[in-house]
Amino acid sequence: MHSSLIVRLLPLVPLLSLSCQSASVGEGSHCADGIAPIQEAVSPLTEKVGIEDAASGPQPAEEAHPSFSSAQLAFSPDSLLASQFPWVKDVSSNNSLVFFKNGQEKFDDLFRAVRQARSTIHMEYFNFRDDSIANALFDLLAIKAKQGVKVRLLFDAFGNDSNNKPLRRKKLQELRRRGLEIYVYDPLDFPWLTHVFSRDHRKIVVIDGQTAYSGGMNIADYYIKGKAEFGQWRDIHFRIEGDAVASYQKIFLRIWNRTTGQHVHGADLYPGMSLPEKALQGLKQDTTSTRGHKTIAVVNREPCLTPDVIRRTFVSAISHAQRLIQIINPYFTLRRPVRRALQEAIKRGVRVEIIVSDKSDIPITPQVVDYNVRRLQRRGAHVYYFQGGFHHSKIMMIDSLYCFAGSANLDSRSLYFDYEVNALILDPPSTHALQSIFESDKLHRCRPLTDDYWRQRSKGKRFSQWLYHFLEPWI
């Protein structure tokens, strides 16, 4: 049986060990230097489909010095970590961070950074889709490899086979001939069912050990041009400079060495912060009052080492919220600990706001999401359906004080099985930046879930939503 067919069948395979886990713990043209500008590869896609940033409504300006409440001014990251997240260890307080609210912003910034790489480029993605964006990136990486930069790329076999333009063997051989080290994590070999668990769902880029990218986006052109079946693809990514970059480097090298059998290590891979005169130029800048002083904890889920760390962080943040919880998550299929924490938050008077999408890239998932958000809405949550596209972002903001963002979905795969990495960003200005995106989407692109809106669904559809929710442990 072909592995791509297996990929489509895997979500429906009974995962017998899940109940055990649940019981025990309570996803062309070139410029002068021969490098193709990203704008030439990306902008035509945007123009062709007609998707522009303005399509998502008026965009909030990033405020350099927003006004903060007394609670925000008195906020202590160290006290919060000690009292609510004692298991989180990879913490640093000298970071700068910027968010990218769409694919155009992410890829423009990433390509500018890659062009300036001097020593190493490390990339770990769930998939590189074999399309115009990936090929523009591969061309640029091949040029950097010729310049002596070590280029190491890793992607997940499940993620590769589950997209409609996977990297084939011939393509991989070509990339290796061009000087790129590229490997697949956990190939889907026979017996395929042994590869259901523990996929690498992380999205990490580390350049020269001094700049890191992470978030919700893989490498694909639909982050810019959207998809015919649902329109615009909305997503959020971010870039970090500071000591938190070393945590992402360590995560990458651990799985790289295990996958390849290599032993890449050394102090030169952890150079610390660059001097201003050696910093990458032309990138989006952190203009907030806390730039260079943000506290960030990198929360890394590895199935055998830290299986419950992301789930515990979600649950603790929700359980300690006092005023406001705001969530955007594409696969809001939930499991009992998170659902119970949200219900308890509503009960104690916390305002819970959730944005989910009307449409999804995965069949069945919207039915389960509908069932879950309706249950929460009836208890008092404020639910909003994103219209005219698919919101793939994975972010949560708590009390306008701190936020949790990265690759993890609120589904079984991310919370119980897959390799994931999120950043716990203990910084009110950064949280305010995400809240601005949330509020803009809520006001201009969403429809609230009301009783009347819910009753527009047929009884048959509501029954199917109830029926499909029993698949929560597998999706």
Name the residue ranges covered by the structural domains of the chain: 36-275+291-474
Q: Tell me what pLDDT residue 70 has.
A: 66
pLDDT band at residue 473 using 50, 70 and 90 as cut-offs? low
Query: Is the Cβ–Cβ distance between 209 and 120 less than 8 Å?
Result: yes
Three-state secondary structure string covering 264-278: CCCHHHCCCCCCHHH
- Quote the CA–CA distance of 218 and 166 in Å, as a whole number: 13
pLDDT at 34 over 80: no
- 24/350: higher pLDDT: 350
454 φ, ψ (degrees, to nearest 5): -65, -40
pLDDT at 270 over 80: yes
pLDDT band at residue 26 using 50, 70 and 90 as cut-offs? very low
pLDDT at 365 over 70: yes
pLDDT band at residue 100 using 50, 70 and 90 as cut-offs? very high
Q: Tell me what pLDDT residue 16 has.
A: 34
- 156/31: higher pLDDT: 156
pLDDT at 125 over 60: yes
296 φ, ψ (degrees, to nearest 5): -130, 130
Q: Tell me what pLDDT residue 470 has.
A: 74
284-331 residue pLDDT tens: 999 999 999 999 999 999 999 999 999 999 999 999 999 999 999 999
410-424 residue pLDDT tens: 999 999 999 999 999
129-159 residue pLDDT tens: 999 999 999 999 999 999 999 999 999 999 9
Q: Tell me what pLDDT residue 304 has.
A: 92
Q: Tell me what pLDDT residue 73 has.
A: 64
- Quote the CA–CA distance of 338 and 345 in Å, as a whole number: 11
Q: Tell me what pLDDT residue 437 has.
A: 97
- Quote the CA–CA distance of 404 and 395 in Å, as a whole number: 6
- DSSP secondary structure of 34-77: S---HHHHHHHHHHHHT--GGGGSSPPPPPSS----HHHHT--H
**Residue 125: its H or E element:** strand 120-125
> pTM of the predicted model, to two decimals?
0.86
- Quote the CA–CA distance of 352 and 377 in Å, as a whole number: 9
- DSSP secondary structure of 206-237: EETTTEEEEES--B-THHHH-BTTTBEEE--E
Closest CA to 234 of 165, 367, 164, 328: 328
pLDDT at 465 over 80: no
Percentage of residues of the chain with pLDDT beyond 70: 83
371-407 residue pLDDT tens: 999 999 999 999 999 998 999 999 999 999 999 999 9
Length of the chain: 475
208-219 residue pLDDT tens: 999 999 999 999
- Quote the CA–CA distance of 329 and 325 in Å, as a whole number: 13
pLDDT at 106 over 90: yes
Q: Tell me what pLDDT residue 10 has.
A: 42
- Quote the CA–CA distance of 106 and 398 in Å, as a whole number: 25
Q: What is the mean pLDDT of the chain?
A: 86
Q: Tell me what pLDDT residue 68 has.
A: 63
pLDDT at 7 over 50: no
Q: Tell me what pLDDT residue 460 has.
A: 76
Looking at CATH, the fold of the domain delimited by 36-275+291-474 is given as Endonuclease; Chain A (3.30.870)
- 61/370: higher pLDDT: 370
Per DSSP bridges, beta strands 395-398 and 204-207 are unpaired
Q: Tell me what pLDDT residue 14 has.
A: 35
Q: Tell me what pLDDT residue 39 has.
A: 46
- Which range, of 265-279, 280-294, 433-447, averages the lowest pLDDT? 265-279
E strand map for 268-406: 294-301, 324-328, 351-357, 382-386, 389-391, 395-398, 402-406
